[in-house]
Structure 1
Amino acid sequence: MNFTRITGGQRLLKAVLAIGLTLSLAACAQTQEAAKPTEPSTPAPGTQPAEPASDTKGSGQVLRLNNFTEPLSLHPGLITDVWSSNVIFQTFEGLTRIDENGVPQPAMAESIQASDDLLTYTFKIREGAKWSNGDPVTAQDFENAWKWTLDAKNGSEYAYQLFYVKNAEAAFNGKAKPEEIGVKAPDDHTLVVQLENPTPFFLELTAFYTYFPVNAKEAKEHPDWAKEAGPNYTSNGPFKLASWEHKNKLVLEKNDQYWDAKSVKLAKIEMNMINDANTELSMLENGDLDWAGAPTGNLPLDAMESLKEKGLLEITPKAGTYWYEFNTAQKPFNNKKIRQAFAYAISRKDLVENVTQGGELVATAVVPPTMFPENEQGLFADNDVAMAKQLLAEGMKEEGYASVDKLPPITLSYNTEEAQAKIAQAVQDMWQKNLGVHVKLENQEWNVYYENVKNGKFQVARMGWTGDFNDPINFLEIFRTKEGNNHTNWEKKEYADLLTASSREGDAQKRKEILRNAEKILVDEMPVIPFYFKSTVYAKNPNLKGVVISGLGNVQYKWAYFE
């Protein structure tokens, strides 16, 4: 979805809600073709299609997939990663849900009204909506969950996603009281939300997991409710958590208490934790899995060409950017010119054509072209080795390094995975060849790796971002301050001021220019090295239908079934 269409959706939403029509009609201006599910007509990888297990042929309806690794958390207010969110999007539901066309629709809210100035939203919670244990889902469950996330002592890295709510940021920073936050539940079925500024994508945000409710009664009685499967783990989505063998397997079962349970055809989802792409693909070929690849894993890079030739590779665009992060608090990457040199000395074209091979687009900007179409051309030249050498020399002179061999030892960190290893090895070779620097590679299992990244225990680390909603601010606000998901230790007042100005600008084109100027500062300062714009790449059991993949790369199994 591009920027102007989002803003057009805001105008339409205001007009439609004002006369009381449905949210479905209001959101139609925001339909995105990229969000439509793709159903391969080809068999699963292998010389002959693997015969699906008997329980996938209709009666049992059991979906088997690989979730790659242990989730960091299964608390909606604490997660930030795709492996945790792949579970949460199946087990929880917000006020809205993104449908198969990428449009937010009423979910836990059966009706939505917005004020003329788009600063106040009134949500009516569905009569009869229940948690998986039979408790009613109430407006207070939403209010309490949001305020819990905005309590800084709870450590939510995604608390800033709620800062669109009036006084939310002030409360998070201790400058406002919880009761001053603009979310109120005057009764069990009414939730009133006041915003800081008109937010055209707000009804997309309410479908995002930071805005999900939590069973207030269970959370109060059992503070550690989200750490294990069991009677205290209650959810309100299409599926419920049946079992959790840590670092081995999660099992979800259909939630019969779900308000729209009649639409759910799968009886069970088995989520394995296999940290190896070759094993995952082999299990798909042997009929032991029904899905391989995105959103939670990667197909083996060595198999990509063969899968393409057989017509088995499914690729859809995704609003995401793969990048490396610098720790700007550590030498030598405290120096902007040295960061730029390392960024310019990479051939992204070689990486996407010869290493990743998943239809990715070269990225020399941060915001994906789905939001800023101009970024297909980017903001700097790919593989500009001459400029890289010049910048490195200038940066070393500024820092007092007489030669390359006098630079501090440099370590490139990545999580244990074949694709990450091959990308890191290619980059290591490019930096050695183009800059003459020696780089040590270091890999760790994801949970350990990410903990180190969060705590600043790295020099250069592989990361990236996939959009949570379709607006450029989602990619830019990460770097507003050093808090939350910004691991780089970089911040700049001029940059933050532009983001603040964008939130107050009602003119779509002017707002876009403000955000473009902010991105230019970010790319010039280079706290991250953009590599490529992501794509969703997968292969699956041909009998599996109805899986919905959004333009943001999220997958929903609510409507999935085997035929």
Structure 2
Amino acid sequence: MKKFTCFLMLVCFILFSSGCIEKNVQTNKSNDQGYIVYDTVKCPNDLIMTNNYDLNEQYLLVNLFQGLVRMDSDGKIVPAIAQSWNASENQTCYTFKIRNDARWSNGSNITASDFVEFFKKFFKEGKGSLYVERLHCIFGVQDYENGIKDFSNVAIKALDKKTLEIRLNYSCNYFLNILSEPIYNLRKIDNKLKDWKNKYNDILYTGYFVVDNFSKNSSISLSKNKYYWNKNNVKSNRILITLSTVKEASLANFESNLINVFTDPPESETKELITSGSAVKYEGNVGNALIFNPKNNDIINDINLRKAITECIDRNYIVKDILNDSVRPSLAYIPENISDGLNGKYINKSFFDINSNKDAAQNDFKESLYAQNVRNLKFIYLDADDNRKVCDSIAKSLKDTLGLTVECEGYQKEEFQDQIKKGNYDIAKINYAPGYNYPLAFLELWTSDSKSNVYGYRNLEYDSEVSQGKTELDRDKQINFFRNSENILIGDMIVIPLYFDNTIVCKKNKVNGIYINQNGNLIFDKTYFKK
């Protein structure tokens, strides 16, 4: 990594001079005492997070709290605070048995009523959010959210101190997949969670760790939760999380042994870090795609134009030359590592070529109405270096192959959302993220009534297939509905997948037991520092 040596020295000099990593210098000495130092970029504003869709910020929810069930490192649903559960034959009623040794971090027992109270406040706090929308499958939730009926009508009931019953509106064989997501982990939703940076000592935790110190915008110290039901299998007594805002600074600290774990290094360094054994690649589920403006008649009425643009995309070049193999190409809308609900993987088919097809693109463009009345296209993206490089590459390909002039414009998050809302674009580069590990989580993002479908895509046949798949009890038939839905979505050529994100974890050789969830969050219960 010779090309980076001078830069490392410069970054370290700047950081030491400014005192920004004074605590981290002390941390380097602490490494010999045996705890992990994990560096990350973002620190969540609150620990309720019902209106925060940045999955990367859920790393605290994963490690500080736990839900009824969880997903293990193999992607299987396993017991958590619920030691067992039963589903009715038609899978519309789930009964959970709470562990006798399940306790809050103050030693008090966790009861079924605690979950009832959690969901009641969660639905109120998250009114209008995607997280509540995903639990509309529970009887009464939608009416409660809309203020039509009170919470007594919601079918989440404590049958006794240790038995929780949840009844659903329809058969939902993926219900446990939803509940396994960190956002549904048990916590007392109150002002302490909102002001957790100042009130962390007063919060009641249910997971592997508790927060024992927070240094403003610098570090978060976690210690083992002594009342966690499975504390004997939590390997580390302490985890220190440091906060850096620049990837290059994280890499500099890693090379200087000030930290020993961090994720997503600079793309230019990824290949060498993986080759040297300093980094491991984990497949993620967040998709990156182009969307053609469904509200633009010139675009929506000209499928030949959309086909021609799609055929100009060289996914192989984007993945290998622009993003240095830090991502993987998406040849379908739903990634290949998604559960089919039967301990297998959902498989449909490949829709796209990994390389561009310039001859086909030129032929389709000649057949397009747009070719007779060419104008400049506005291509927008969320302002970030990797997005800019990808969009500039696509724009150049469209110019070279089709003679199209594409104006690329990057926007900050709120401005980008405003441009989408107003329809001030022809093409946009977007991300799409599932709420849980199941094909439906991807497909329901594009139904006409979905809160996430802010773009205006609408296809009644698609809505019908997704709706039927959602309620179908037979797994094979359900998967067929999902395949049909994906076929329709791709056939309309409004959403064009480019690549799926991976999580690149950089770690020192002495760090053992690292694993991540489907959202890319590191889970620390089995992690330890080998002396």
> What TM bracket, shorter-length normalisation?
0.7 to 0.9
Q: Secondary structure at the match of 1:269?
A: strand
Alignment match of 2:91 (pick from 99, 118, 121): 118
Query: CA distance change for structure 1 residues 222 and 284 in 2, over 3 Å: closer, same or farther?
Result: closer
**Cα distance in 2 for residues equivalent to 1:336 and 1:271:** 50
Alignment match of 1:536 (pick from 487, 497, 503): 503
Deviation at 1:520, TM superposition (A): 1.4
Deviation at 1:72, TM superposition (A): 5.9
Q: Secondary structure at the match of 2:401?
A: helix
> Any gaps of 5 or more consecutive residues in structure 2?
6-24, 339-344
The reply to whether residue 208 of structure 1 matches residue 181 of structure 2 is yes
Query: Retained in 1: the 8 A contact 2:285–2:433?
Result: yes
**Cα distance in 2 for residues equivalent to 1:222 and 1:281:** 34
Deviation at 1:133, TM superposition (A): 4.6
The reply to whether residue 300 of structure 1 matches residue 273 of structure 2 is no
Q: Where does residue 414 of structure 1 map in the other structure?
A: 382
Question: What are the residue-to-residue correspondences of 1:319-334 with 2, within 5 Å?
Answer: 319-329=285-295
Q: Secondary structure at the match of 2:473?
A: coil
Choose 272-281 or 494-503, whichever is displaced more.
Answer: 272-281
Q: Deviations over 1:405-452 (max 9, x none)?
A: x34x61422243x433432332332233334222223153xx657765
**Cα distance in 1 for residues equivalent to 2:421 and 2:215:** 27
Q: Given residue 423 of structure 1, which amino acid in structure 2 is its aligned partner?
A: V
The reply to whether residue 368 of structure 1 matches residue 335 of structure 2 is yes
Query: Retained in 2: the 8 A contact 1:90–1:557?
Result: yes
**Cα distance in 2 for residues equivalent to 1:213 and 1:450:** 34
Q: Deviations over 1:14-48 (max 9, x none)?
A: xxxxxxxxxxxxxxxxxxxxxxxxxxxxxxx99xx
Q: Given residue 271 of structure 1, which amino acid in structure 2 is its aligned partner?
A: I
Choose 199-208 or 513-522, whichever is displaced more.
Answer: 199-208
Q: Where does residue 65 of structure 1 map in the other structure?
A: 39
- Length-normalised TM-score, structure 1: 0.77
Deviation at 1:494, TM superposition (A): 1.8
Query: Retained in 2: the 8 A contact 1:316–1:535?
Result: yes
Q: Secondary structure at the match of 2:211?
A: strand
Q: Given residue 442 of structure 1, which amino acid in structure 2 is its aligned partner?
A: G
Q: Secondary structure at the match of 1:302?
A: helix
Choose 507-516 or 494-503, whichever is displaced more.
Answer: 507-516
Query: Retained in 1: the 8 A contact 2:268–2:324?
Result: no
Deviation at 1:271, TM superposition (A): 3.1
Query: Retained in 1: the 8 A contact 2:90–2:171?
Result: yes
Q: Deviations over 1:291-336 (max 9, x none)?
A: 232xxxx222222333344344422333443223455346765556
Alignment match of 1:154 (pick from 127, 132, 140): 127
Deviation at 1:509, TM superposition (A): 2.5
Q: Where does residue 68 of structure 2 map in the other structure?
A: 95
Deviation at 1:57, TM superposition (A): 3.1
Q: Where does residue 440 of structure 1 map in the other structure?
A: 408
Deviation at 1:515, TM superposition (A): 0.9
Query: Retained in 2: the 8 A contact 1:345–1:430?
Result: yes
**Cα distance in 1 for residues equivalent to 2:149 and 2:313:** 46
Query: CA distance change for structure 1 residues 53 and 211 in 2, over 3 Å: closer, same or farther?
Result: same
Query: CA distance change for structure 1 residues 351 and 381 in 2, over 3 Å: closer, same or farther?
Result: closer
Q: Secondary structure at the match of 2:455?
A: coil
Question: What are the residue-to-residue correspondences of 1:63-462 with 2, within 5 Å?
Answer: 63-66=37-40, 68-71=41-44, 73-134=46-107, 136-151=109-124, 154-173=127-146, 177-215=150-188, 219=190, 224-225=194-195, 229-243=199-213, 248-293=218-263, 298-329=264-295, 335=301, 337=303, 338-358=305-325, 360-371=327-338, 374=347, 377-378=350-351, 383-389=356-362, 397=370, 403-404=373-374, 406-407=375-376, 410-416=378-384, 418-435=385-402, 436-444=404-412, 448=414, 452=418, 459=425, 460-462=427-429
Query: Retained in 2: the 8 A contact 1:110–1:126?
Result: yes
Query: Retained in 2: the 8 A contact 1:214–1:235?
Result: yes
Deviation at 1:341, TM superposition (A): 4.3
Q: Given residue 378 of structure 1, which amino acid in structure 2 is its aligned partner?
A: F
Deviation at 1:467, TM superposition (A): 4.4
- Length-normalised TM-score, structure 2: 0.81
**Cα distance in 2 for residues equivalent to 1:270 and 1:526:** 46
RMSD, aligned α-carbons: 3.5
Q: Secondary structure at the match of 1:53?
A: helix
Query: CA distance change for structure 1 residues 72 and 544 in 2, over 3 Å: closer, same or farther?
Result: same
Query: Retained in 2: the 8 A contact 1:344–1:383?
Result: yes
Alignment match of 1:548 (pick from 500, 507, 515): 515
Alignment match of 1:53 (pick from 23, 28, 51): 28
Query: Retained in 1: the 8 A contact 2:48–2:193?
Result: no
Query: Retained in 1: the 8 A contact 2:102–2:110?
Result: yes
**Cα distance in 1 for residues equivalent to 2:418 and 2:221:** 29
Q: Secondary structure at the match of 2:496?
A: strand
| Alignment size in residue pairs | 499
Deviation at 1:458, TM superposition (A): 6.5
Query: Retained in 2: the 8 A contact 1:162–1:211?
Result: no
Choose 551-560 or 508-517, whichever is displaced more.
Answer: 551-560
Query: Retained in 2: the 8 A contact 1:184–1:192?
Result: yes
Q: Deviations over 1:73-104 (max 9, x none)?
A: 42153332222212211111110122333322
Query: CA distance change for structure 1 residues 276 and 305 in 2, over 3 Å: closer, same or farther?
Result: same
**Cα distance in 1 for residues equivalent to 2:194 and 2:519:** 31
Q: Given residue 270 of structure 2, which amino acid in structure 1 is its aligned partner?
A: M
Alignment match of 1:520 (pick from 487, 501, 516): 487
Q: Secondary structure at the match of 2:134?
A: helix
Q: Where does residue 11 of structure 2 map in the other structure?
A: none
Query: CA distance change for structure 1 residues 283 and 489 in 2, over 3 Å: closer, same or farther?
Result: farther
Query: CA distance change for structure 1 residues 386 and 403 in 2, over 3 Å: closer, same or farther?
Result: farther
Q: Deviations over 1:242-266 (max 9, x none)?
A: 4556655444333333222232233
Deviation at 1:545, TM superposition (A): 0.7
Query: Retained in 2: the 8 A contact 1:431–1:437?
Result: yes
Q: Given residue 314 of structure 2, which amino acid in structure 1 is its aligned partner?
A: S
Deviation at 1:288, TM superposition (A): 1.8
Query: Retained in 2: the 8 A contact 1:150–1:159?
Result: yes
Q: Deviations over 1:81-130 (max 9, x none)?
A: 22221221111111012233332222111232222332211112233433
Deviation at 1:137, TM superposition (A): 3.0
Deviation at 1:140, TM superposition (A): 2.9
Q: Where does residue 503 of structure 1 map in the other structure?
A: 470
Q: Given residue 410 of structure 1, which amino acid in structure 2 is its aligned partner?
A: K
Deviation at 1:403, TM superposition (A): 3.4
Q: Deviations over 1:259-298 (max 9, x none)?
A: 22232233433334434332222221111221232xxxx2
**Cα distance in 1 for residues equivalent to 2:249 and 2:504:** 17
Query: CA distance change for structure 1 residues 448 and 239 in 2, over 3 Å: closer, same or farther?
Result: farther
Deviation at 1:540, TM superposition (A): 0.8
Q: Where does residue 5 of structure 1 map in the other structure?
A: none
**Cα distance in 1 for residues equivalent to 2:428 and 2:215:** 29
Query: CA distance change for structure 1 residues 331 and 114 in 2, over 3 Å: closer, same or farther?
Result: same
**Cα distance in 2 for residues equivalent to 1:448 and 1:226:** 25
**Cα distance in 1 for residues equivalent to 2:63 and 2:461:** 40
Q: Where does residue 34 of structure 1 map in the other structure?
A: none
Query: Retained in 2: the 8 A contact 1:80–1:158?
Result: no
Query: Retained in 2: the 8 A contact 1:123–1:190?
Result: yes
